[in-house]
Structure 1
Amino acid sequence: MDITAWLIVAYFALLALNLRQRWGIIDGPWLFFFRAFFPNWKFYHGIQLTPRLYVRGQSDRAIWTDWQLVYPRLPRRAFHLFHNPAVNLALAHYNLVDHLANDINDLPEGADIRDRVTYQLVEQLAKQAISGACWDAQSMIAHPIASTLSAFQFQVRMELPDGQNSQLMLQSPVVDA
């Protein structure tokens, strides 16, 4: 085995030992490090509210865009059964927003969500989306800002799949771009 494989095995062993010390409670700061390797396996039974990311940007002319959903549906092709990096990246981004929603729900009283890594990663994702980043050839939002971006904001909303019954969970402060 090469050094990389040994380091990965040692990493998981260290995490398992630290989790085992809690005897039956699989929670805590060490569990956070496992999330880098596994998707969020929280399944939504039936139709219920799920987290969605919205962004808006301010152009250099100080005009704000409307709030835009970051996750448009990507077209499906038959060869996507074998190779589909764009949809995999979009799903990883969605998973990140889902983890942020869970962190918001689990946030202790008086703690600041902006100190969490998930918040900082979603902030970077929102900046990429409003700046015109793409998944393959598909833009992350419908109308990216064509001119220079001066500021942006993002929201995490809990919504039904059809976009109805939207509940604001988090709105970021205005962030300079």
Structure 2
Amino acid sequence: MDFTPLLIVAYFALLAITLRKRGDSIEGPWLFFFRAFFPNWKFFHGINLTPRLYVRGQSKMGNWSDWCLVYPRLPLRPQHLVHNPAVNLALTHQNLVDHLANDINDLPDGTDIRQRVTYQLVSRLARQAIAGGQWGDRPMMAEEPLRDLSAFQFEVRMEMPGTQSSHLMLQSPKIPT
């Protein structure tokens, strides 16, 4: 017997009961667990700055590559109207970057963002991208993956779509591979 549907219902029930006991306020670490099931539902009335993930790698010789965008647009095909796993995965990854940007904005003073789950997941995403990860048959970066890496870094930049305007929101420390 498959217990998956029952476990999912139990999970949501536990979260709802826990949030209800906290009172009228629905914030805090428990709300984060709902993010796994729902996309970022922030809608904008105009064109605003959008968080974008960039990565760069350091070779064993000590040379750093240029910063590379991790989220290139994937081409749309007619069959994507029915089955679109690569684009869905890419959008999920971008949604994760959006959540990290929100966490950075909501971070209380004196709190280290590196302790947040979103930071750790984006760090893994950056590592996957710099190592040549793919969304289906499409590479995560337009540039060739780097070989023989000793370390990497990632940045979250707020960018205005269609312009060169960007604002650095976060730069990770050097992370060994």
Which TM class, normalised by the smaller chain length? over 0.9
Quick one: distance in 1 between partners of 2:33 and 2:63? 40
Number of aligned residues? 177
- What are the within-5 Å matches in structure 2 for residues 1-177 of structure 1? 2-177=2-177
> Matched residues, percent identical?
69
AA aligned opposite 1:19? L
SS of equivalent to 1:124: helix
Contact 2:131–2:147 under 8 Å retained in 1? no
Aligned CA-pair RMSD: 1.4
Quick one: distance in 1 between partners of 2:86 and 2:2? 31
Which is worse superposed, 141-150 or 83-92?
141-150
SS of equivalent to 1:170: strand
AA aligned opposite 2:94? Y
Quick one: distance in 2 between partners of 1:146 and 1:17? 47
Quick one: distance in 1 between partners of 2:29 and 2:146? 41
Q: Structure 2: where are the runs of 5+ without partners?
A: none
- 1:68-111 deviations in whole A, cap 9, x for unaligned? 11111101100000001000000000000000011111111111
SS of equivalent to 2:88: helix
User: Shift of the alpha carbon at 1:2?
Assistant: 4.5
Normalised TM-score (structure 1): 0.95
Quick one: distance in 1 between partners of 2:30 and 2:43? 23
User: Cα distance 1:145–1:77, how it changes in 2: closer, same or farther (>3 A)?
Assistant: closer
